Amino acid sequence: MLLRVLYIGTTLAQLHLEKKSTMEDMLFYDRIQFAFTITFHYLFPQLTMGLSLMIVWFKWKFLRSKDEKYNDAAKFWMKIFAINFAMGVVTGIPMEFQFGTNWAKFSELTGGIIGQTLAMEGMFSFFLESSFLGLFLFGEKLLGHKLHFVTGFLVFLGSWASGFLIIATHSWMQYPVGYEVLENGRFVLNNFGALFSNPWLWPSFFHNQMASVVTSSFVVAAIGAFYLLNNKHSEFGKMFVRTGVIFGVVSSILVAFPTGDLTAKNVVKHQPVTFAAMEGIFETEDGGSEIVLIGQPNIQDKKLDNKIAVPNFLSFLTYQKWDAQIKGLNEFKEEDYPTNIPGLYYGYHIMVGLGTIFIGLMVVAAFFMWRKKLYKTQWILWILMFMIPFPYIANTMGWYTAELGRQPWLVYNLLRTTEGASPTVSSGNTLFTLLGFVGLYLLLGMLFVILVGKIINKGPHPAK
């Protein structure tokens, strides 16, 4: 009898472990698939949002100066914008379908809230952007230059409105407001205006938009540097380098302050455990917290190895007091720790480190431009040209910081990630479709590089 009880107990325990292992595998592949598709997708909107502003600038300069080169520049960059826009649409659709496949429970419980902002983004922003994009590309002769400028401005407005509505959705997941929970566990809005007055929204939106302007600034400056170094389209090369550096100086500073500062203070206030993990603070310290420049998280021993730090500086940046106390991870339950502390820590520090480099490089380039030496200083032009991938990396790390920081929650403090996954979609199905996405996106990426490469190689149309 005892042996039978032990056998049954062992069998039940084994089944529980197998079920737990299967659930963990399923959740792992669900998260990996969404991370891959959204990472690839966001390579394109982060350029279009910033580039739309710079296209409006070129068109406005043409209307003011009547210099045809600015008009040619606007049309040149709108071609690259259009390809990025098309790629963003193609890669964005499968991502949204995952809400109904891999994350059906999340959609069922929160669809009454996030469905509204996502639908608004599709119905208003997308159609506004796509409609006037076509008019800008093909309607200049029909519309005339002033109405052509208006279409460019509306493309810019549509792209930024799209970003705003997406970030409104994301902000609700980070800091839920204006909701109530029904008896069946579903979340519904009881205050629609609260979505757009969310204290998390506006700092995050402007931080994200300035980061996208940084990306477009480096891309424009890099293409200009490429033209100057190859001694072709030199007039456009000078224009692109000059415009990229001016926009780059302003946007790279605004990313850090005030938008980045306000975003970080939101994390301190509303997600203190996330902030502790981002900064690698394992123990609460009296007398002020140091800011770590370099270090490696040691989760087992709960410390940072080989760290280089500046004493008390983090307290000053956070609270404007040198001796202010910042809570460490020891103040919180381990079940509420971010699920990937090393990934969160490194993602955050890579983003901040690259952002600091961007400010330094653009300020140096602006100084050389002021001294009228920029266009002939080859080492700066080479650096500008080879910096083109790094704003993409910084933007990606920024989003990883936001997403890894919210874990283990899908909706912070309300819905855990484990509770939002679809229970009927197996890990094998998810892995199979993930491999399909990898192959398809590899082909799309190659096609994108070929098309954009041809446009860049041909260059802007010469001024009439």
Model pLDDT for residues 39-63, shown as the tens digit of each residue: 999 999 999 999 999 999 999 999 9
Q: What pLDDT, on a 0 to 100 scale, did the predictor assign at position 462?
A: 60
pLDDT for 124 beyond 80: no
**In the predicted model, what is the mean pLDDT of residues 240-265?**
96
pLDDT for 316 beyond 50: yes
Distance CA 358, CA 387 (A): 9
- Strands 409-411 and 179-181 turn out to be unpaired
Q: What pLDDT, on a 0 to 100 scale, did the predictor assign at position 9?
A: 43
Q: What pLDDT, on a 0 to 100 scale, did the predictor assign at position 129?
A: 83
pLDDT for 459 beyond 80: yes
**In the predicted model, what is the mean pLDDT of residues 211-239?**
96
Query: Of 348 and 426, which is predicted with more confidence?
Result: 348
127 — pLDDT class (breaks 50, 70, 90):
confident
Positive or negative CA dihedral for 121, 124, 130, 133? negative
Cβ 61 vs Cβ 113: under 8 Å: no
Give the 3-state secondary structure of the chain: CHHHHHHHHHHHHHHHHHHHHHHHHHHHHHHHHHHHHHHHHCCCHHHHHHHHHHHHHHHHHHHHHCCHHHHHHHHHHHHHHHHHHHHHHHHHHHHHHCCCCCCHHHHHHHHHHHHHHHHHHHHHHHHHHHHHHHHHHHCHHHHCHHHHHHHHHHHHHHHHHHHHHHHHHHHHHHCCCCEEECCCCCEEECCHHHHCCCCCHHHHHHHHHHHHHHHHHHHHHHHHHHHHHCCCCHHHHHHHHHHHHHHHHHHHHHHHHHHHHHHHHHHHHHCHHHHHHHHCCCCCCCCCCCEEEEEEEECCCCEEEEEEEECCHHHHHHHCCCCCCCCCHHHCCHHHCCCCHHHHHHHHHHHHHHHHHHHHHHHHHHHHHHCCCHHHCHHHHHHHHHCCCHHHHHHHHHHHHHHHHHCCEEECCCEEHHHCCCCCCCHHHHHHHHHHHHHHHHHHHHHHHHHHHHHHHHCCCCCC
Dump pLDDT digits (tens) for 103-123.
999 999 999 899 888 888 877
Dump pLDDT digits (tens) for 323-365.
888 999 999 999 999 999 999 999 999 999 999 999 999 999 9
Dump pLDDT digits (tens) for 62-91.
999 999 999 999 999 999 999 999 999 899
Write phi, then psi, for 327 (nearest 5 degrees): -65, 140
Q: What pLDDT, on a 0 to 100 scale, did the predictor assign at position 23?
A: 62
Q: What pLDDT, on a 0 to 100 scale, did the predictor assign at position 21?
A: 53
Of residues 53, 82, 81, 55, the one with CA closest to residue 70: 55
Of residues 135, 45, 38, 138, the one with CA closest to residue 85: 45
Q: What pLDDT, on a 0 to 100 scale, did the predictor assign at position 15?
A: 37
Q: What pLDDT, on a 0 to 100 scale, did the predictor assign at position 7?
A: 39
Q: What pLDDT, on a 0 to 100 scale, did the predictor assign at position 22?
A: 63
Q: What pLDDT, on a 0 to 100 scale, did the predictor assign at position 175?
A: 96
Write phi, then psi, for 289 (nearest 5 degrees): -110, 140
Query: Of 224 and 184, which is predicted with more confidence?
Result: 224
**In the predicted model, what is the mean pLDDT of residues 223-242?**
95
Q: What pLDDT, on a 0 to 100 scale, did the predictor assign at position 125?
A: 75
Dump pLDDT digits (tens) for 189-205.
998 899 999 999 999 99
Q: What pLDDT, on a 0 to 100 scale, did the predictor assign at position 99?
A: 85
Q: What pLDDT, on a 0 to 100 scale, did the predictor assign at position 19?
A: 44
Cβ 227 vs Cβ 249: under 8 Å: no
Report percent pLDDT > 70 for the chain. Answer: 94
pLDDT for 252 beyond 50: yes
pLDDT for 16 beyond 60: no
Give CA separation, 228 vs 84, 377, 400, in Å.
24, 10, 35
Cβ 460 vs Cβ 226: under 8 Å: no
Cβ 337 vs Cβ 385: under 8 Å: no
Q: Which residues pair with 296 in a beta bridge?
A: 305
